[in-house]
Structure 1
Amino acid sequence: MNAEWSGFTLRWYGVPAKGPAMLRAARNSLVIGLVAAGTSSVHGTLAAAALRRYRPPMLTTLVLARIAMPEVLMGVSLLLFFVSIATIAG
């Protein structure tokens, strides 16, 4: 059976509210999300205040390293992949 677009509806948002287990799961997710958001906001604010007051000498390097790390890891993994393919083929 193929799915077919039949129009816009909000009906499916009410379906989970019919079961107590789904309501409990939704409430748990909301509580965990709110606690995580509040905790990270407090920690981020305290970290920003500390970085504003005490300027670490390697701060720029640490920030840029975190930004550049995914590209470096992707480059190394692609290098290893292509070297292994060349070794198998050659």
Structure 2
Amino acid sequence: MDHMSIKTTFSLGKLYCNTFGHRYRVTKKVTSHINEYQCMLCNCEATNDDKGKLTQLTPQLKDINETLVSFHKKKKHAF
């Protein structure tokens, strides 16, 4: 019988974030009011939602942000 081991990783950063909250820094400026953030301790990613609050950065939101960057650049160069 094969022995399967479950690998768990303990991170002080994750423990700190669960207790006190994340320490985000801006990693990408999408538009003047939408940014992408990454926690300096646990490396989780977040972005602004449509109401301006921080939400977890999903692949779908990442694609939306890329599209916004594209539109924003086109608009900026049109003027």
For the pair shown, which has the larger CA radius of gyration, 1 or 2? 1
Of Structure 1 and Structure 2, the greater strand share is in: 2
TM-score with structure 1 length normalisation?
0.30
**Structure number with higher relative contact order (C-alpha < 8 Å, ≥ 6 residues apart):** 2
